Amino acid sequence: MGREKGKLWVLAFVLLALIIFLVPAKLRAVEDSLCFECHSDKQLVKVDDVGREVSLYVDKANWENSVHADISCVGCHTDLEIMKTEHAEKLKPVSCGQCHEAVDKVYQGSLHAEAIRRGVQDSAHCSDCHGTHYVYPKGHIMSRVNPMNLEETCDRCHADVAFVKEHRGIPDRVLPGLVYKESVHGRAVKRGIEGAASL
Ligand code: HEC
Ligand code: HEC
Ligand code: HEC
Ligand code: HEC
Ligand code: HEC
């Protein structure tokens, strides 16, 4: 084989690799930008089942800095796989557990998850502690489970007088010591569940 032909092969390989790496990223950006055509509108709201207005605005900059920017909107909103400019009014609830299986297993054993199974729908779901669109690693100052923000995250429910009254028996203040001891993942560490030690 001539040297020129060898070089051509290398070039072809490099081009192929570039196409493989660049195309999905580009498609992803297109998918998400279609969502933002409507969901970057701060006025966009829906009315939920109990008649409350819920904002449908997603902040692009905060989203792009979040841990999930790479999985794109449809990574979680899986019933929107095929991108159209309009979609159904009601979408399937998001399952964090589909990707975070190990954490989900720990969570399913927690008191919060037990309560949801008993029908206490306003107990803590993953997104109540981590957020929906602006999820960051716990070391990030904007993470809701950053030690600086954790008390506020738990206290949204646990220090809400009406909420505590409605859920008799729950702690009316979740102090940092208890947070660690009782948090779903803290418990897992105590029991030594494999893979949870770093959570
Ligand atoms: C043409 C505008 C438009 C586009 C494009 C669009 N949406 Fe929506 N979206 C809406 C409107 C309007 C609603 C509110 C529907 C209603 O009245 O309840 C909504 C509601 C939603 C909801 C809440 C659904 C529920 O069950 O309450 C989600 C989640 C959502 N959109 C995600 C997305 C994602 C992800 C994309 C991109 C793949 C996207 N949307 C693209 C207009 C749009
Ligand atoms: C990490 C998972 C995840 C990703 C990725 C994600 N979402 Fe969501 N989204 C959620 C969760 C959780 C909810 C709350 C409702 C539920 O549990 O299904 C939600 C709700 C919504 C709603 C309804 C309003 C609200 O805040 O409850 C809209 C609109 C929406 N998402 C749009 C988007 C758009 C646009 C993108 C991409 C820019 C996106 N989502 C990416 C998890 C995600
Ligand atoms: C489609 C798969 C997928 C879904 C669904 C998903 N995640 Fe993730 N999540 C990931 C990936 C991939 C990473 C890792 C990003 C990285 O390590 O850079 C991640 C990272 C995280 C992190 C940060 C962990 C760390 O070590 O920095 C948290 C917290 C998190 N996800 C919570 C959630 C929550 C809460 C939901 C539901 C609202 C959810 N995830 C839904 C794929 C997913
Ligand atoms: C009651 C609140 C709460 C609920 C509910 C919850 N988490 Fe967490 N999560 C935490 C706290 C607090 C930490 C940080 C623990 C620590 O400091 O080590 C954490 C840590 C994590 C981490 C590691 C984050 C990092 O940056 O290292 C991931 C991933 C995660 N949770 C995913 C989930 C998923 C997925 C669910 C649902 C299946 C869930 N969590 C439910 C409170 C919660
Ligand atoms: C979305 C609301 C909500 C958030 C956020 C929340 N909790 Fe809870 N929590 C509840 C509810 C509701 C119960 C009661 C469940 C039941 O009925 O057994 C509960 C129960 C508990 C209990 C059990 C009390 C007992 O002994 O029966 C502990 C401990 C607890 N939460 C700690 C936390 C910590 C720590 C955080 C933050 C990391 C947190 N919670 C965040 C709603 C919440």
Q: Is 144 in the pocket of ligand 5 (CB under 6 A)?
A: no
Which ligand minimizes its atom distance to the CA of 46? Answer: 1
Q: Is 170 in the pocket of ligand 5 (CB under 6 A)?
A: yes
Q: How sure is the predictor about 199, in pLDDT bands with cuts at 50, 70 and 90?
A: very low
For all residues of the chain together, what is the average pLDDT?
Answer: 81
What's the structural domain count of the chain?
1
* Ligand 3 atom 14 nearest Cα: 67
- Range(s) of the domain holding residue 28: 1-92
CA of 49 to the centre of ligand 5 (A): 24
Residue 109 lies in a domain: no
Report, as an integer, the average pLDDT of 86-100: 92
Can you tell me which atom of ligand 3 is nearest the CA of 76?
5
Residue 195 lies in a domain: no
Provide the pLDDT for residue 80: 85
Residue 102 lies in a domain: no
Q: What is the pLDDT of residues 132-154, one digit of tens each?
A: 999 999 999 999 999 889 888 98
Residue 173 lies in a domain: no
Q: Judge whether residue 24 has pLDDT over 90.
A: no
Query: From CA 98, how far away is CA 169, in angstroms rounded?
Result: 32
Q: Is 182 in the pocket of ligand 5 (CB under 6 A)?
A: yes
Report, as an integer, the average pLDDT of 120-128: 94
Q: Judge whether residue 39 has pLDDT over 70.
A: yes
Q: Where are the alpha helices (DSSP H) in the chain?
A: 3-39, 60-64, 73-76, 101-108, 111-117, 126-130, 147-158, 161-166, 176-182, 184-191
Report, as an integer, the average pLDDT of 12-20: 67
Report, as an integer, the average pLDDT of 71-99: 88
* Ligand 1 atom 37 nearest Cα: 35
Provide the pLDDT for residue 179: 57
67, two tokens? 């841990």
Q: Is 146 in the pocket of ligand 3 (CB under 6 A)?
A: no
Provide the pLDDT for residue 178: 55
Pick from 101, 92, 97: which is nearest to 74 by CA? 92
* Ligand 3 atom 25 nearest Cα: 137
* Ligand 1 atom 19 nearest Cα: 89
In the chain, pLDDT over 90 holds for what percent of residues?
43
Q: What pTM does this model have? A: 0.88
Residue 118 lies in a domain: no
CA of 170 to the centre of ligand 5 (A): 7
* Ligand 4 atom 36 nearest Cα: 126
Query: From CA 96, how far away is CA 112, in angstroms rounded?
Result: 15
- Amino acid identity of residue 63, one-letter, is W
Residue 193 lies in a domain: no
Q: Judge whether residue 131 has pLDDT over 90.
A: yes
Provide the pLDDT for residue 160: 85
Residue 166 lies in a domain: no
Provide the pLDDT for residue 198: 33
Q: Judge whether residue 162 has pLDDT over 50.
A: yes
- By mean pLDDT, which of 122-131, 133-142, 177-186 is the weakest? 177-186
Residue 79 lies in a domain: yes
Can you tell me which atom of ligand 5 is nearest the CA of 179?
35
